[in-house]
Structure formats: C-alpha cells, structure tokens
C-alpha cells in the first residue's frame, strides 16, 4: 500500500470500530471471555480469488490491542485457492473477537474487487487494452477500492473530480445549451484553461462527434455505449486522423463482451462494476 492508502485505511478502521463499539466495549465478549485468555486465529481463503487488504489487519489491532501479533503469509495481489492461509493472528482472545468482523469486512470487500478485476484483466490479456476503474465507488472507500483494482492488475482512472479533466455528456449539454458553441470549441477552451500537464478526456457517443473532436487532439476520447462495429470504426478513424489520441470504451461491458471490445483495438476499457458490483470474496476467521 502507498502511504495515502494506509492513511485512508487507518481512518476507515477507526470509523468501522466506532460503528461496532460506539466508544464502548464488545459486550458479548466481555461477558464470556477472560481478558487474560490467549488464542490463535488463521484467516483462510474459502474460495478462489485475489487477496487485497492484508495490510489492514495490523491496523485494526493498532487500535484494539497493539500486542496482538499479525503475520501475513501472502502479499496483496496473490492468487488464492481454497484453504490457503492468508494470515495468522496471535494474542488476546477478546481483542481477536472484537476485531474479527472489521477485518473480514475489509478483506472480503477489497479481495472481491481485486478478484473481479483479475477476471477482466485475464479476458483481455491477448490485446493492448487496459482495464480501468471509475468513480462509481462506495462513498468513503474510493482510495481502498482503487487500491484493490491495482491488486487485481487493473489501472486506476482519475481519483476524483480534481486530478483530471473528463468532459461528459452533461457538461457538453450545458456548454452547448445556447446552440452556438461546438464540441471542437469546447476542447480548445479546456486545453487553454486547464492546469499544465493535466490529462484532458472528452466523452462522445456518436462517430460524428468523434470525427469532429479528433483533430483537436484531446488526450483521451471516451466512447460511450458504442457497438462493437462502431468501436472498430472509431479505432480506424483515430488511426487515420489522430494516432496519438487514446480511445476508451465504456458502457455495456461485462465478462462476456470485454474480450470483443478489447479486440477492436481500443486502448482502455473502463468498468464501473469493478467497484460497485464486485461480490465479496469468502474468507474465514478460523481458530487454531
């Protein structure tokens, strides 16, 4: 994890523990288990997938009980098979029980994102296309979900509204509301006004729009909800008019269609489902 990822994880762990404990105690555990009791837990994969979030485990015990020992057996990004031991935790049984759900919530969510991403990456491995995420993330979890995408072999799109220009259909509708300003003028205006070095991307949903925009050389053109035939024609048009412009396909992408989309020659495929619809990966919290 990068420092920014770890900072985000610490804040989220704090919030997750606040949800569970409300600055109080684990009532059930305190009634049944002596504070002095020691134990060992293994976190075990129960299905095939890709690990993400292992480094969050010790962050949980930083806040519950720093004396709990956390040994990670595999790194984030590792392909998991059923029965593989991800981590071993040794320490206070009350601390282990209190941290169980917080740990599994993070690991199952992030490993689910990484696992789904890996499937998409594998589906396009014979092409030049990169698999990208989007801003369709769970509120507050964007940094960690985008980290999980990287664990699965994917590539991060812009992080937020602040770090890249992406002019979408609603922006253009507002820009052209008086009917006097063209798509090409929008590209020129943005290029003139954007911070130096910032990536400029424009969304189009027709080939006519693409033909209009390519001579203005935006860094990336997002091809929204185009058919396979339209995508192939878009690549041909780009190669003829503006070879340096990257083409990104989006919309209607799933594991059955992504290979065909990549085969058209587009450079990037962005998929909201990586972060908004990835199923959780089943991991167990097993006492030794």
Residue 224 assigned as binding residue: yes
Active site residue 19: no
3-state SS track over 60-88? HHHHHCCCCEEEECCCCCCEECCCCEEEE
Strands 38-45 and 220-224: unpaired
81 belongs to an annotated ligand binding site: no
Q: Which one is catalytic: 10, 46, 168, 191?
A: 168
Q: Is 203 marked as binding a ligand?
A: yes
Dist. CA 15–CA 227, nearest whole Å = 43
Q: 101 among the known binding-site residues?
A: yes
240 alpha-carbon distance from chain centroid: 33
65 annotated active-site? no
Residue of 20, 46, 65, 101 marked catalytic: 101
Q: Is 100 in the active site?
A: no
Whether residue 252 is annotated as binding a ligand: the answer is yes
Residue 160: how many other CB atoms lie within 10 Å: 10
Residue 273 annotated as binding site: yes
Q: Do residues 130 and 143 make contact, with C-beta atoms less than 8 angstroms apart?
A: no
Q: Is 268 annotated as a binding residue?
A: no
136 has catalytic annotation: yes
**Catalytic residue, candidates 224, 238, 267, 268:** 224
Q: What CA–CA distance (Å, rounded) separates 42 from 99?
A: 13
Active site includes 163? no
Any known ligand binding at 91? Answer: no
The binding site for substrate consists of 101, 134-136, 158, 168, 203, 224, 250-252, 271-273
Residues tagged in the binding site annotation: 101, 134-136, 158, 168, 203, 224, 250-252, 271-273
Active site residues: 101, 136, 168, 203, 224
């Amino acid at each position: 994890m990068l420092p920014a990822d770890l900072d985000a994880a610490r804040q989220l762990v704090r919030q997750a523990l606040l949800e569970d404990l409300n600055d109080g105690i684990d009532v059930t555990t305190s009634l049944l288990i002596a504070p002095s009791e020691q134990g060992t837990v293994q976190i075990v994969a129960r299905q095939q997938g890709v690990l993400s979030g292992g480094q969050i485990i010790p962050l949980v015990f930083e806040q519950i009980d720093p004396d709990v020992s956390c040994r990670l057996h595999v790194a984030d990004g590792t392909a998991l098979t059923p029965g593989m031991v991800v981590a071993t935790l040794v320490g206070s049984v009350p601390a282990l029980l209190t941290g169980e759900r917080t740990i599994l919530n993070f690991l199952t969510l992030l490993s689910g994102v990484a696992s789904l991403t890996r499937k998409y990456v594998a589906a396009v491995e014979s092409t030049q296309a990169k698999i990208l995420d989007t801003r369709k993330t769970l509120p507050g979890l964007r940094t960690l979900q985008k980290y999980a995408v990287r664990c699965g072999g994917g590539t991060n799109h812009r992080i937020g509204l602040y770090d890249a220009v992406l002019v979408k259909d609603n922006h253009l509708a507002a820009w052209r509301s008086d009917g006097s300003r063209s798509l090409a003028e929008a590209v020129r205006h943005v290029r003139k006004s954007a911070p130096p070095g910032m990536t400029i991307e424009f969304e189009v949903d027709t080939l006519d729009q693409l033909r209009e925009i390519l001579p203005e050389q935006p860094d990336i053109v997002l091809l929204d909800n185009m058919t396979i035939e339209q995508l192939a024609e878009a690549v041909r048009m780009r190669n003829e008019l503006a070879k340096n412009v990257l083409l990104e396909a989006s919309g209607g992408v799933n594991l059955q269609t992504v290979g065909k989309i990549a085969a058209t020659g587009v450079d990037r495929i962005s998929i909201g489902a990586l972060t908004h619809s990835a199923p959780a990966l089943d991991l167990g919290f097993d006492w030794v």
